[in-house]
Chain A
Amino acid sequence: MVTMRATLKKAAAGFSLSIVGLAALSFLATPLESGASTKIAADGLGATAQICPTGTTQVAGRVGVPANLVNENGDTAKKNAGTAYSDVQCYNAAGELVAYGNADILYELPSSALIPLGQQLYMQDCASCHGVHADGVLPNGTTGNYPDLTGLGPATINFWVTTGRMPAANPRDVQAMRRQPRLTVFQSNAIAAWVNSLQPATPYIPSANLNGANLTVGQDLFALNCAACHTITGGGDALASSTYAPSLHVATPTQIVDAIRTGPGNMPRFTGNLTDSQVRDITAYVAESIQKPTNIGGVGMGGLGPVAEGFIGLALGVGGLMLVSFWVGDRSE
């Protein structure tokens, strides 16, 4: 039975890859060797696949990443996992790395034309806590109260600003909660562009291509990696010390990838151990199956499960039938 499960799992995994035309897993299964990535990227995407935005130069394989680019932990081993060493890099005319990724997720740097606007917005909305240099140093010299934003990559800014968590409603809160964003996505990109200009870093802002995603892989990985905090139906719940795993029901695909790749707040950061293809599958599962749950059996009751069901069963079931017995029986003593 055990071997059967193993075989079938492999078959399922193989299927998922055949759909999206990725050879990532087969790459991962082989020992890591330098130089292998170029070949894999070319195999997986085909010679003609254009992933980069128009107007940029597409380079396959991990070559030519700017030396000044801050990369998480300086890690270089895994590609295809949200790092600038992904399958494809895109350079603009000035030779700057403006995007990278693959057919599943493309990570893009906001246009540098937005930098002046971003600086202006930053000074208005962010500088009072994070300091004028975005390094967490306040004008009076205190540090450590609020995070240093440099070297985190545009995806981090994108997550916190587009989910409305930043600018913070109450900066002293243990955890900023999702709310109506105060800044638009455009403004958020501008801020990200300016902060990134101080110290270029990855991950860039992702956009996931959900077409052809494998929801089965998504569900399996969600149950293994995400459900422990966000619950299997994505409703979120209370964690230790007044922290919360937020509900996933309103997150956009970009925010989901942001969160997985950057690990905002107390959320763990998933990098080399989840490939872009897997992240894309998880994102598709959240966007398609959790946000639009298949409640074929009636009202879904918020996914809270047995507690809500118990209340309904007792209140409507037993309670309703007790009302019937009130009618059937006699009420005087």
Chain B
Amino acid sequence: MTAVLKPRTKRQAKEAAGPYGKVGDAVAELDERLGIAKGGRTFLDKIFPDHWSFMLGEIALYSFVILLITGIFLTLYFVPSQGLVKVPMNFPYKPLRGDTVSQAFMSTINMSFNVRCGLLMRQMHHWACDIFVGAIVVHMARVFFTGAFRKPRETNWLVGTTLLILAIANGFLGYSLPDDLVSGTGIRIADSIMLSVPVVGSYLSYFVFGGNFPGQVVIARFFIIHVLLVPLIILGLVGAHLALLVRQKHTQFPGKGRTERNVVGSPMFPVFIFKTQGFLFMTFGVTALLGAFAQINPIWQFGQYIPSNISYAVQPDWYMGFLDGLLRIFPAWEWNAWGHTIPFEVTFPAVIFPGIVFNVAMAWPILERKFFGGDNEIHHLLDRPRDVPKRTAFGVAFFALLATLFVASSTDVLANYFHVSLNTVLWTMRVLTILIPLIAYPVTYKICRELQGGGANMGKRKRPNDVVRTAEGEYVATQAPVRPGDVHHELDATPVPTFIAAAVVAEAEEVVESSDATTGARVVDR
């Protein structure tokens, strides 16, 4: 048994604690129990490529974090019930005083008018949702056009597409909760879409609504699905998405020193952590500013949903727009035979078409292999879109189709804005929906081919010329200095050193000569 010497001075205490003090102790304690040191170190050293387009998924991730935080706030005030209450006569918004509304509507306007920061949270929640789905789409486009979904990442592509579907579904469910005129109309349309499903449609509708639309249960059911079921699945899938990312490591663009056998970029700790933490706050900040200055879904102006009330120019949130657009422009083809009806004018646009869209998206890694000249090799280096013209052309045509349908969801707004007849707009959109993808494919293909012939520097940022007029009146053009960031990867990549702060390395281990401050090497004060 050895006597434990109590350190008498600070110096002794420091020595007794080892070179890394309390952190070192904590690491030791944890490692003895969990064995975290080796894996933890690998994790800290994990390399994240720096290209800006790899941050798009983070926008989605962080807006989901915001959705969770603001959503939890909202659940504390929202009452998911269609039971009726009377708006108190002292309610701040006059046109609702004394009105008979559902508790869902009442609690939503109450949190908007009477709960401090309630409206901010509500608006941030809705904006974060718009951003969430938008960021997923943009992120998916990046993954698609650069071929990041190829082997071995097909599973993660599948997970990602599922996340998009869930995000859209949950967006619709959340949009439906306040029981206002606009969302009620949306639920009514959703009911009709369920009815349009052959054979089981009416059962589907009756089971969701607990009987005839609107019934008394749909808000409560949507609520629990919206706040518990779907978020849980999303959370799990996000976890799986990130776990697969860590396991398979990030893809990277080809470039100096980048091969299929390495990853070049910034280490997780501290560089990436700093950047991504900053990005989280920026996402939060942008959402907060939108919530502060841009009003979204002012349901008090819409009023309580009553099934026979209706507003013109009602549209779903943007991510449902392509469905609404196709519902508008699809011909009125309903089939009736042997005592049964197939409302194909609803079934196709609202059930079959989204089925096709998402199935094509999910199956794309296989489709590309089979029909678009893809291979079965493992790829960690990304494609430049121009180098894979078939995929790029297909993707552009696909997005063009969805974008045209999205525009078609605003036929009335377009007709009003450009002062053309609704009939003209509708026929134009019908033609464009077919024409635009058909044109987009060959045009994109051709552009890709042209770009391929354009040399290595095409598409890269050009350095501008500074033109100076001399005293003699002569104009002299000189190339502007290289901007930082452009030359970043001119350097060779180096393994992640244990000690990012060079001076500390010199002090602690003395394996490297201490840095020379006069050369401009970075010295961290300790």
Contacts and interface: CB of A to CB of B under 8 A. Distances in A.
Are chains A and B touching directly in their complex (CB below 8 angstroms)?
yes
Interface of A: 1, 4-5, 8-9, 11-12, 15-16, 215-216, 218-220, 223-224, 227-233, 235-242, 244-245, 285, 288-289, 293-301, 303-307, 309-314, 316-318, 320-322, 324-333
B93 A294 contact: yes
Contacts, number: 255
B56 A325 contact: yes
A329 B276 CA distance: 10
Interface string B253-288: 101000000000000000000010011001100110
Contact of B100 (A5, A231, A299, A331): A5
Contact of B52 (A9, A316, A326): A326
Interface string B308-349: 111111111111010000000000000000000000000000
Contact of B301 (A230, A233, A298): A233
A219 B422 CA distance: 28
Residue among B53, B216, B275, B292 with the most chain A CB within 10 A? B53
A325 B55 contact: yes
A234 B204 CA distance: 36
A160 to B, nearest CB: 20
Interface residues of B, number: 92
A309 B52 contact: no
Given A317-B134, A328-B278, A296 B416 contact: no
Contacts of B489: 330, 332
B130 A242 contact: no
B485 A324 contact: no
A228 B311 CA distance: 4
Interface in B119-138: 119, 123, 126-127, 130-131, 134-135, 138
B377 interface: no
A332 B58 CA distance: 20
B306 A299 contact: no
B84 interface: yes
Contact of A216 (B95, B182, B278): B95
Nearest to A300: B295
A315 to B, nearest CB: 10
Interface string B410-448: 101101100111110100000000000000000000000
A238 B298 CA distance: 23
A296 B119 contact: yes
Contacts of A332: 255, 460-461, 485-489
A4 B420 CA distance: 46
A307 B313 CA distance: 10
B59 A313 contact: no
Interface of B: 50-56, 58-59, 82-84, 86, 93-100, 112-113, 119, 123, 126-127, 130-131, 134-135, 138, 181-182, 216, 253, 255, 275, 278-279, 282-283, 286-287, 290-298, 300-303, 306, 308-319, 321, 384, 409-410, 412-413, 415-416, 419-423, 425, 459-461, 485-489
B96 A227 contact: no
A242 to B, nearest CB: 4
Given A12-B100, A307-B318, A317-B290, A231 B312 contact: yes
A319 to B, nearest CB: 9
Given A218-B95, A298-B123, 13 more contacts: A5-B84, A11-B86, A12-B86, A216-B97, A219-B303, A237-B415, A297-B112, A297-B296, A305-B313, A313-B127, A317-B131, A332-B255, A332-B487
A312 B459 CA distance: 28
A307 B55 CA distance: 26
Given A289-B95, A306-B317, A321-B59, A8 B294 contact: no
B422 A238 contact: yes
A325 B59 contact: yes
A296 B117 CA distance: 12
Given A231-B311, A306-B317, A309-B317, A329 B413 contact: no
B421 A241 contact: yes
A321 B123 contact: no
Nearest to B490: A332
Contacts of B295: 295-301
Contacts of A289: 94-95, 301
A1 B216 contact: yes
Nearest to B185: A232
A231 B58 CA distance: 38
Nearest to A177: B419
Contacts of B96: 216, 219
Contacts of A316: 286, 290, 294
A233 B299 CA distance: 11
Given A296-B113, A332-B485, A8 B286 contact: no
B406 to A, nearest CB: 9
Contacts of A293: 298, 301
15 contacts: A4-B84, A12-B99, A223-B309, A237-B312, A238-B416, A242-B422, A296-B113, A298-B291, A298-B293, A299-B294, A305-B297, A305-B315, A318-B138, A325-B53, A333-B384
Given A230-B312, A294-B300, A326-B52, A314 B294 contact: no
B52 A236 contact: no
B59 A227 contact: no
Given A229-B312, A237-B413, A301-B294, A242 B420 contact: yes
Contacts of A311: 318
B323 to A, nearest CB: 13
B280 to A, nearest CB: 11
Nearest to A228: B310
A215 B294 CA distance: 26
A313 B131 contact: yes
Contacts of B316: 306
Nearest to A223: B309
A294 B301 contact: yes
A312 B52 contact: no
B309 A309 contact: no
Contacts of B97: 215-216
A227 B305 CA distance: 13
